[in-house]
Amino acid sequence: MSAAPAASAAGSSGWSGVLHSRRGWLWGALLLLVAVLLGVLVFLAGEFEEARDQAALERDAASLVSDIRSELVRNVQTLQALHTVAPNPERWSETAVDLLIEHREIVRVEWRSNNYRLLAQRDTPYLASLIGQIRRDAFLPEVRQACDSAVRLSGPAFSASYFWPQSEGRGLELMEMCLPVVRAGLPDGFLVATYGLQGVLAELTNKELVRGRGLSFNEADGTRLAVLSQPPESVRSLSAQALLDLPGHTLNLRLDAPLLPLGLFPNVLTAVVGALSLALLVVVALLGRDMRLRQRAELEVAEALAFRKAMENSLVTGLRARDMEGRITYVNPAFCQMVGYSAEELLGAGLPAPWWPPERVDEYQHRRSLRLSGQNLPREGYESVFQRRDGTRFPVLIIEAPLIDAQGQQTGHMSAMLDITEQRRIEDLNRASQDRLQATARLTTVGEMASLLSHELNQPLAAIASYATGALNLLDADDERVARGDLRQAMQRIGEQADRAGRVIKSVADFVRRREQSREAVAPLDLVEAIAPLLSLQAKKQGIQLQIDFVPDLPSVWCDRTLIEQVLLNLARNGMQAMSEGQPPLVSGLRVLRLTANQPRLSAGRAGAAPAHKAWVEFSVTDHGEGLSEDVARQLFTPFFTTKAEGMGLGLSLCRTVVEQHGGALSFEPALPRGTVFRFTLPADAGPALR
């Protein structure tokens, strides 16, 4: 009996050993997994840090290349300005010194002719004996290469870099930049700037990005051309390369940075567990916050929908949305009221629309096809005609815009519609009012023409009456021979004045109807001689001496002869009427009316001056009456204003209008010792090519 319990005890202890061993393996596996996890985390952290540093280094290398390229472009602009301010070699050399002092990266500038002959050159003051042991002509092929590329590119071009030896076994890696010079659109040689690659690294890069790092220009095989700085040799470093692509040549820029070791291994597990715990809490907090935000957003959406619904119900503009197949997806109450259909009847309805007039279905279908083909209708809208449910027609203004979804795709069209029936009614009323106003204006024009005709025909009719009276007196004379000759002259004068009256009627009619008057080149003296008989007759009646003082060799004026004669006649008659018989004469004992003509020099500041013209002729009529008071002078050109009992007040207004239609100006001023001078200008004849 004792052997069985012993055996069972041995079996239980073996099973527990197996379980303990299995648990040990499990814990070992768990620890191994944790260790592997920690190792992976450390490795991934290191790789992440190295990848991040590498990406940052590559960005910095690209930034340095961009800085160098930008500074080289600015240098090109500065070098172009050098030729602008210094057009000759002597002044060019003086100005080039200042440029080299300011730009240390440039070691030499040259001005060469189109055949590469050296016209002027300057070396940098910062490098002694730059040329050194080798003549400059040894590297002329690099200059030619850069200049040939510059001609092909019509802009600056760079050559391949080359080594320039100096004394004591030293040297510089140089690169040529050639810039074509153009003056007045023609080639004027080349401007050659020699860059030192080490100077480019030192002067054209961001010092903050280079601090503590290595920067150099390298060949494709790794050979260093120019070195600005190097990282410590004992520290692992990262390296980034970027291409400096210049017109005609490409350089490889290398940026080295030390790689810092990671020190996070003792805290990785704690950081991971803590981060996971915090992440769990943050996720729960974020879920609660998200639920609150969702509830708030749903409430705001509900309020926005209610507000939009209230706004839609208050609109008088009809709104309608359609999908790309033409089915209605939305209408507002204003649109339903406009066409007489309910929203349930309209939603989902296709084409043709129920509010389209039957006879215009084809037209509206064609318009929709144009819109869908990309030929959008004007943004300011277009007019159309709709039909209500009861069959009545009404005009509408439609403004359409595409419906764009969140992915930027067009899903249909939104249309805003305005019932413009009332607007059409108001436009019809305005049109009728305009017609009535035009009819009234025509009646006013007829009255104006009648007034002008009566005013202007007084003079030729008065002359006809005078000549007729003279003819009757001649018929009663005893001397038949003398009477016959004088009678013939009187009848001839009557015919001339009758013809003049006809021309006055035609000119005034054309003037009132705003027709284009016939103009011609007329000598100034001919204008006065045409009205001289009328002026002499009236001057003789009033005992006034008529003086005509015209400057010799005056050019002809371009005018309507009849109208300008009337202007001269009106001004002269007004001047005679201003000198009544009761007024005292001048010192000479005579009352004089003076007509003059000359070519003035008009200033822009003078009142009444004519606008700028190649040549003008100024006419003046001077009387020696009492002059004009301030009140009369202020209203002198007002239509129907007159100081005469029998006057109509249209003469001066008509004169100014006629002169202004000819491009001139009519003005007046006091005469000395008394009286008034009226002046007006007419354009001189400029020939057929300039009319």
Dist. CA 4–CA 422, nearest whole Å: 117
Q: How far apart are CA 343 and CA 337, in angstroms?
A: 10
Does the pLDDT of residue 474 top 50, yes or no? yes
Q: How confident is the model at residue 222, as a pLDDT?
A: 77
Q: How many angstroms separate the CA atoms of 105 and 73, rounded?
A: 13
Lowest mean pLDDT among 310-324, 550-564, 643-657: 643-657
Q: Does residue 157 contact residue 247 with C-beta atoms inside 8 Å?
A: yes
Q: What is the pLDDT of residues 399-450, one digit of tens each?
A: 777 778 778 888 777 788 877 778 888 888 888 877 677 656 555 555 555 5
- 374-396 mean pLDDT: 74
Beta pairing class for 592-598 and 545-550: parallel
CA distance 342 to 335: 9
| Domain 420-516: CATH architecture, name and number where available | Orthogonal Bundle (1.10)
Bridge partners of residue 394, in order along the sequence: 386
Q: Tell me what pLDDT residue 624 has.
A: 85
**Radius of gyration of the chain from Cα atoms?**
52
The partner residues of 103 in beta bridges, in order of sequence, read none
Q: What is the mean pLDDT of residues 56-68?
A: 89
If you ran DSSP here, which 8-state letter would residue 611 be given? P
Please check whether residue 116 is in contact with residue 190, taking contact to mean a CB–CB distance below 8 angstroms: yes
Q: Is the pLDDT reported for residue 29 higher than 70?
A: no
SS3 of residue 278 by DSSP: helix
Residue 598 burial (C-beta neighbours within 10 Å; 0-12, 13-18, 19+): middle
Identify the CA nearest to 507 among candidates 586, 562, 452. 562
Helix axes 3-85, 268-314, angle to 10 degrees: 60
**Mean pLDDT computed over 19-36:** 56
Count of CB atoms within 10 A of residue 358's CB?
8
Q: Please name the CATH architecture into which domain 66-258 falls.
A: 2-Layer Sandwich (3.30)
Burial class (CB in 10 A: 0-12, 13-18, 19+), 354: middle
Spatial neighbors of 684 by CB under 8 A, at least 6 apart, are 555, 556, 557, 558, 599, 613, 614, 615, 616, 617
Domain range list for the chain: 66-258, 265-311, 315-419, 420-516, 517-690
Task: Indicate the CATH number for domain 517-690.
Answer: 3.30.565.10
C-alpha span between 112 and 150 (Å, rounded): 14
Q: What is the bridge-based pairing of β-strands 318-323 and 328-331?
A: antiparallel
pLDDT score recorded for residue 681: 92
CA distances from 184 to 93, 157, 580 (A): 22, 22, 74
The predicted structure's pLDDT at residue 421: 79
Mean per-residue pLDDT of the chain:
75
Residues 6+ positions from 496 with CB-CB distance below 8 Å: none
Specify the CATH class of 315-419 in words: alpha beta
Per the DSSP assignment, residues forming a β-bridge with 548 are 595
Which pLDDT band holds residue 45 (cuts at 50, 70, 90)?
low
**Banded pLDDT at 605 (limits 50, 70, 90):** very low
pLDDT confidence band for 319 (50 / 70 / 90)? confident
Among residues 63, 67, 87, 85, the alpha carbon closest in space to that of 75 is found at 67
pLDDT at 4: 45
Residue among 590, 576, 498 at smallest CA distance from 537: 576
Structure confidence at residue 146 as a pLDDT band (50, 70, 90):
confident
Predicted local confidence at residue 680, as pLDDT: 92
Helix (H, G, I), strand (E, B) or coil at 452: helix
What's the average model confidence in pLDDT over 540-565? 85
Q: What pLDDT was estimated at residue 452?
A: 56
Helices 561-578 and 651-661, axial angle in degrees (round to 10): 140
Closest by alpha carbon to 193, among 253, 246, 267? 246
Under 8 Å between Cβ of 151 and 122: no
Q: Is 447 helix (H, G, I), strand (E, B) or coil?
A: helix
- As a whole number of angstroms, the distance between CA 441 and CA 513 comes to 11
306 or 15, greater pLDDT: 306
Q: Count CB neighbours of 386 within 10 A.
A: 22
Q: How far apart are CA 387 and CA 334, in angstroms?
A: 15
What is the rounded CA–CA span in Å between residue 286 and residue 291? 8
Non-local (6+) Cβ contacts of 96 within 8 A are 82, 86, 109, 120, 122
| DSSP state letter for 449 | H
Helix (H), strand (E), coil (C) string for 4-64: HHHHHHHHHHHHHHHHHHHHHHHHHHHHHHHHHHHHHHHHHHHHHHHHHHHHHHHHHHHHH
Same-fold call for 66-258 versus 315-419: yes
